[in-house]
Amino acid sequence: MSNPLPTAHATFEPVRAQAIESLNLQIQEFRHRETGAVHYHMAADNTENVFLVALRTVPQDSTGVAHILEHTALCGSERFPVRDPFFMMLRRSLNTFMNAFTSSDWTAYPFASQNRKDFNNLLDVYLDAVFFSRLDPLDFAQEGHRVEFATPDDPSSELIYKGVVFNEMKGAMSSVSSTLWQKFCEHLFPSTTYHYNSGGEPENIPDLSYAQLKAFYESHYHPTNAIFMTFGDIPAAEHQAAFEERALARFERLDQRIEVQPEQRLAAPIRVNDIYAFDENTDTAGKTHLVMGWMLGESSDLEGMLEAQLLSSVLLENSASPLQHALETTELGQAPSPLCGLEESMREMVFVCGIEGSEAEHADAFEQMVLEIIEDVANNGVAAERLEAVLHQLELHQREVSGDNYPYGLHLILQALGSATHYADPIAAMNLDPVIESLRTKIQDPDYIKRLARQLLLDNSHRLTLVVEPDSELSARRLEREAARLADIKQAMSEEQKQATVKLAADLIERQQSTDDESILPKVELTDIPAEVSDVSPTQSPINGLTVTRYGQGTNGLVYQQWVAPLPALDDKQRAVLPLYTSFLSELGLGESTYLETQHRQSADVGSIHAFTSMRGKVEDEQAIKANFVLSSKALLRNAAAQAELMRDTLHSARFDEHARLRDLVSQQRARREQSVTGNGHGLAMAAACAGMSPLANLNHELTGLAGIRRLRALDEALKDDGELATFGDTLANIHANVQSMPGELLVVAEPQEAERLATDLSAIYADASNSGAKTLSLAPVRERRGEFWVTNTQVNFCARAYPTVPVGHPDAAALSVLGGFMRNGFLHRAIREQGGAYGGGASQDSGSAAFRFYSYRDPRLADTLADFDAAIDWLLQGGHDARALEEAILGVIGSLDKPSSPAGEAKQHFHNSLFGRTHAHRKQFRERILAVSLDDLMRVGETYLRADAASTAVVSNSVQRDANEAQLSDLALTVQEL
């Protein structure tokens, strides 16, 4: 039911408004009278206001034009003709989010802020960047691609490719899952934009010319093709006044409609064989990926989308789902493919399933297995309670107030953006309750799910089976082709062209080293920072023999429960598999129930349930750690009792005798961890570099870092022996018995009017937790230098260098925290990203490990980057720094400290901080210390802690770099480690 038309600016026509009760907001639609630009405003009682402007971008090649344009548009505009306004505003702002995204069919520019002045500043810069970008050719050369001589001023040296996006995509396409998805889309979509890599294929990126970039900008970056979306408590008309004044008044409507065309349907299923680069120094046996997928209907058809979600969940939601169970347990492969599931962000939906760790010869058997399972569903259906459980999950997802990873408002905006992109109804896409209720009626017909399985999959001829085999020589061939192409370019160069190339490199360095007039950019001041930060107030008391802490928060009808206990002492064998124990605890059977029955129960009763460990060093001493075990879940209010019963049973009756299940879980975990390297290489490199700084840092590296991945590989191989498998199950059971012996307490987060009642009702369900407990986990102190070079399957490098510093309670922790942003803003961003060509780089203080870390991300360089880390310290200690640069670094730290979380997230964070002795008073003191940091403090802590004789170094790279830099690795004292 629509509401009265909302108030609009005179240049906008109000179209409609609709309240969505399950989201506690009203969505309003407007259209700009002159250009046709649309504006969707999500009016909410929320001070974290969010802005996004999206442009439909539908490239017809894999040169990365939309992606390179996203980067280049943020490099200076008409009103703000400075070299890097985006990164400058990052440090002149109290934003809670700033970024830009390139999707397969749209490019978006979002930001969020709790400060009204800051929001308006960012809006000015973003509107100008999008609609009046300068697109300087030097920025195209820096962000996109260029050729340079290996020695930039020596035309006799070899040519090389440089460019931020070029190196970013080399890193991105090192990911096997990214390669799989791109190849899958290439063949499933033979004629539309999804056929191409919107991020850019490294081999095709150099084909893009500056003229093509400008032409794409002029045709796509126009208000007629724009979608404005906002969220928060700023009125829509106020936003529209800014849109009009800053941008829209200067445009007229274009007679064009940019859209993705429907894909031509395949007349019959196809099978395609392809290859991916495999650079590890191991056998390629058992490394093939088998993927099978269908193109479904339009994603903007809400009923059709939820029907596809329903069928996808029936088949794949958890280990008890028939197709997921088969993919996890089949002897044809090691684990389910990372591509499994429903992709609904494109114009036409895609359903995918697959396995990894297989062989090409298994393709027929894999195909037959998948089709037989779907045929079984089409013939026999599934239990009614299973369908109800799937709808329960959809309802819970609709209601949950997120916001722990990025702003809740942005989460909602991105949920609606797909429909808006395809000229469909984003308001309907937000209000799923009516469609869920419609499905609830339809599933009463036992033939309904049978018809869906046949209609969407079995009778759908637009099906692809993709067989992707490893090729250990592909990377070398790519490098040879790149070298040959560069040699041909150099051979064809006239003397004038060589000198032009030398001049371009010199001009770019001059531009990168120039100092822009930052005063033309708007900014917030330290005086704009709120004096106080909000706090939450829990109630804690013993109820039914159990200590219960409860928070009344606006959770929109969800209940969050956590059972928390000190982590017991563990022997070396137990400690080595601790992450597997927490990962597997909620994946096993309970009591007499098998893991399959337990998975059904979980799906019906809770939105999620999982265990984890939480460890921190003491506030004043990083060498003394405290560790807790946590079992956590979320559920709808009506299921709170069933949620608590499931938690209790997981704690008291988890079974570790399902050995085949354990074997499958280890293989799946190994596959996921191996795939994580290319996306989190900088984090893994920092963990390796910091491993000698504190016991917690060492444990992180050994359990969840690169050393942990290597150990997991060895375990996976060892568990092929039944005796080893039984021993592994016993080890997990022993850990669990120790955890059960510890005294636990309960955390409950719910709506304010429900919290007290729930605390009483739920605590009665848990058994008396007043156990005396055993000894708690303790770790020996660690403080040593490390130097490691990790060989992995990546085309780019991730570099890290770390120095031992101090824990959070030390007075110097504040200055070190500010120093990270100060060095990134003043030196590292220019040296590593702009000049070095890495996708990212910076520095930060990790007070939990008492370490200061430098890092680079998707980096074409190695030794030169490590030298830049050292040069950054020299730059700092030379002095003569600007007070404004200090202020910007302080703003960045305060913005991070004050960043809001979801209501439930704030409560959980407050609770766990308290468990580790980090009170609101500590937070306030640390915040005050940040605001008091001086330039002298930065110089002092830099001189005190960033000493060359204390540095540890870690690099994540590949065998080619290892062989090419053998002498340098020796000079750097880096020990080669094979993953």
Angle at CA of residue 106, ends 100 and 112, nearest 5°:
35
Residues 795 and 684 in one domain: no
Q: 748, 763, 778: which is the final residue of a domain?
A: 763
Measure CA 282 to chain center. 29
Q: What is the DSSP letter of 824?
A: I
Torsion of CA 881, 887, 892, 894, to 10 degrees: 140
Say what the pLDDT of residue 772 is. Answer: 67
SS3 call for 787: strand
Residues 759 and 703 in one domain: yes
- Closest by CA to 69, choosing from 164, 182, 183, is 164
Interstrand relation of 49-56 and 25-32 (parallel, antiparallel or unpaired):
unpaired
Whose structure tokens read 């075990």? 629
Say what the pLDDT of residue 188 is. Answer: 96
Say what the pLDDT of residue 693 is. Answer: 94
Residues 91 and 211 in one domain: yes
Determine contact, residues 893/818, Cβ cutoff 8 Å.
yes
Residues 95 and 168 in one domain: yes
What is the Cα–Cα distance from 387 to 377, expressed in whole angstroms? 12
Torsion of CA 247, 252, 253, 254, to 10 degrees: -100
What is the Cα–Cα distance from 339 to 334, expressed in whole angstroms? 14
Q: Tell me the CATH number at 193.
A: 3.30.830.10
pLDDT at 740 over 60: yes
Residues 747 and 601 in one domain: yes
**% of the chain surpassing 70 pLDDT:** 99
What's the per-residue H, E or C state across 525-582?
CHHHCCCCCCCCCCEEEEECCEEEEEEECCCCCEEEEEEEEECECCCHHHHHCHHHHH
Give the predicted TM-score (pTM) of the model.
0.92
Residue 768 pLDDT grade (very low, low, confident, very high; cuts 50, 70, 90): low
pLDDT at 2 over 80: no
Q: 877 lies in a domain? A: yes
Residues 223 and 337 in one domain: no
SS3 call for 712: helix
pLDDT in tens, 279-327: 877 789 999 999 999 999 999 999 999 999 999 999 999 999 999 999 9
| Of 47-56, 250-259, 400-409, the least confident | 400-409
Buried b (16+ CB within 10 A) or exposed e, 118-136: bbebbbbbbbbbbbbbbbb
- Closest by CA to 508, choosing from 164, 811, 202, is 164
What is the Cα–Cα distance from 447 to 457, expressed in whole angstroms? 15
What is the Cα–Cα distance from 873 to 861, expressed in whole angstroms? 19
Q: What is the DSSP letter of 267?
A: S
| Of 530-539, 604-613, 653-662, the least confident | 530-539
Say what the pLDDT of residue 516 is. Answer: 84
For 259, other C-beta atoms within 10 Å of its C-beta total: 15
Say what the pLDDT of residue 770 is. Answer: 60
Tell me which amino acid residue 870 is: D
Residues 965 and 941 in one domain: yes
- Closest by CA to 670, choosing from 633, 717, 623, is 717
Tell me which amino acid residue 749 is: V
**% of the chain surpassing 90 pLDDT:** 84
Determine contact, residues 548/745, Cβ cutoff 8 Å.
yes
Residues 283 and 180 in one domain: no
- Closest by CA to 707, choosing from 735, 692, 680, 687, is 687
Determine contact, residues 92/888, Cβ cutoff 8 Å.
yes
pLDDT in tens, 472-498: 999 889 999 999 999 999 999 999 999
Q: What's the burial of 567, exposed, middle or buried (CB within 10 Å: 0-12/13-18/19+)?
A: buried
Q: 437, 471, 505: which is the final residue of a domain?
A: 471
Determine contact, residues 126/74, Cβ cutoff 8 Å.
no
Q: 489 lies in a domain? A: no
What is the Cα–Cα distance from 929 to 648, expressed in whole angstroms? 43
Q: 529 lies in a domain? A: no
DSSP 307-319: HHHHHHHHHHSST
Residue 657 pLDDT grade (very low, low, confident, very high; cuts 50, 70, 90): very high
Residues 861 and 896 in one domain: yes
SS3 call for 398: helix
pLDDT in tens, 158-195: 999 999 999 889 888 888 899 999 999 999 999 999 99
Q: What is the mean pLDDT of the chain?
A: 94
What is the Cα–Cα distance from 233 to 940, expressed in whole angstroms? 43
Determine contact, residues 68/496, Cβ cutoff 8 Å.
no
As given in the structure block, the two tokens for residue 248 are 């829209």
Tell me which amino acid residue 538 is: P
Q: 528 lies in a domain? A: no
Q: In what order do the strands lie in the sheet with 539-543?
A: 539-543, 546-552, 745-750, 558-566, 625-636, 608-617
Residue 769 pLDDT grade (very low, low, confident, very high; cuts 50, 70, 90): low
Q: 523 lies in a domain? A: no
pLDDT at 954 over 60: yes
Q: 730, 763, 796: which is the final residue of a domain?
A: 763
pLDDT at 784 over 60: yes
Q: 1 lies in a domain? A: no
Residues 759 and 791 in one domain: no
What is the extent of the structural domain holding 727?
548-763
Provide the domain count of the chain: 4
Determine contact, residues 640/762, Cβ cutoff 8 Å.
yes
As given in the structure block, the two tokens for residue 877 are 């200690």
Determine contact, residues 699/779, Cβ cutoff 8 Å.
yes
Contacts of 158 (CB under 8 A, 6+ apart): 149, 150, 483, 486, 487, 490
pLDDT in tens, 680-711: 999 999 999 999 999 999 999 999 999 999 99
Q: How far is CA 671 from CA 69, 175, 328, 727, in A?
A: 34, 12, 12, 22
Q: 773 lies in a domain? A: no
Residues 519-541 have a mean pLDDT of 88
DSSP 270-287: EEEEEEEE--SSS--TT-
Q: 862 lies in a domain? A: yes
Determine contact, residues 95/118, Cβ cutoff 8 Å.
yes
Residues 245 and 279 in one domain: no
SS3 call for 495: helix
Determine contact, residues 480/204, Cβ cutoff 8 Å.
no
Say what the pLDDT of residue 21 is. Answer: 86
What is the Cα–Cα distance from 974 to 956, expressed in whole angstroms? 11
SS3 call for 486: helix
Torsion of CA 518, 521, 526, 532, to 10 degrees: -150
What is the Cα–Cα distance from 479 to 823, expressed in whole angstroms? 34
Residues 757 and 794 in one domain: no
Say what the pLDDT of residue 514 is. Answer: 86
**799 has which bridge partners?**
955
